Amino acid sequence: MTYVNIIVTTAAKVATVTINRPDKLNALNRATIEELRLAFAAIKSDANIRAAILTGSGAKSFVAGADITEFAGVEPAAARDFSLAGQRTFREIELLGKPVIAAVNGFCFGGGMELAMVCTLRIAADTAKFGQPEVNLGILPGFGGTQRLPRLVGRSAALELCLTGKPISAERAHQLGIVSGVVPAADLIGEVEKLCGQLALSAPLAMRGIMDAIIYGEDMPLDQGLDYESQTFGLLSSTADMREGTSAFLEKRKPEFLGR
């Protein structure tokens, strides 16, 4: 498929999705959100792709936020529709069933931070900046930020970030648990590619089971979450990948998982 606002490439079972609006600091407009939805739907349905990287074009910005021209001055119903469109696409990425690693290469503000939070893991360049500055526009985060951020960092830190709108450094984001690692900017893509290469060799059904158990279980009572975990454990125990994994361990060799 031909895209206008994103670039999609694949290599060694890993897809790379690059938001390509550098003149707009990769801000998210409706068209870009729709292209992301289509791209990740294709990634989900392609059994040859085991993991994905999401990043922004250029060295300055991952995603600087939602494109303000898309909602400034619109009627409340249209603004709500814009919010819902972003939430739907972001939720589909979150529930992709394959690991998506955000390579945060620069500004990660507003809708960009909300997009990063739906990724499985986030690795940041040491030059990256994070923030939810929507309060400065008289609005709130509309792509899921008020819901995911407190789940990620706790209520107090989420309120601080959303109420002050102040940007924070990559190191502070790491301390809060927003990102799982910070690397020199020049090494970012290489480090993320290395991680995705490792994930691409892992058991895809097991990875999906792990992600589903954590994402869905987070909002379940503990007993219900434990039941979900044990049911998923039982299902995975019936797979060819489980037999391959255990056999490879006993035979002291590397497993070759086929996703079956």
> Could you tell me which residues come within 8 angstroms of residue 11 by beta carbon, excluding any fewer than 6 positions away?
none
Residue 36's CB is within 10 A of a number of other CB atoms, namely 24
Mean pLDDT of all residues in the chain? Answer: 96
Show which residues are catalytic.
114, 134
Q: Quote the pLDDT of residue 27.
A: 96
Among residues 127, 215, 124, the alpha carbon closest in space to that of 176 is found at: 124
Q: Judging by DSSP bridges, how do beta strands 14-19 and 6-11 pair with one another? A: antiparallel
Domain spans of the chain?
Answer: 6-200, 204-250
Domain 6-200 carries which CATH code?
Answer: 3.90.226.10
| 123-169 per-position pLDDT tens digit | 999 999 999 999 999 999 999 999 999 999 999 999 999 999 999 99
Q: Quote the pLDDT of residue 152.
A: 96
The yes-or-no verdict on residue 91 having pLDDT over 80 is: yes
The yes-or-no verdict on residue 3 having pLDDT over 80 is: yes
Band of pLDDT at residue 112, cut at 50, 70 and 90: very high
Q: Which residue has the tokens 């893991």?
A: 121
Q: Quote the pLDDT of residue 71.
A: 77
Structure tokens at 165: 């709108």
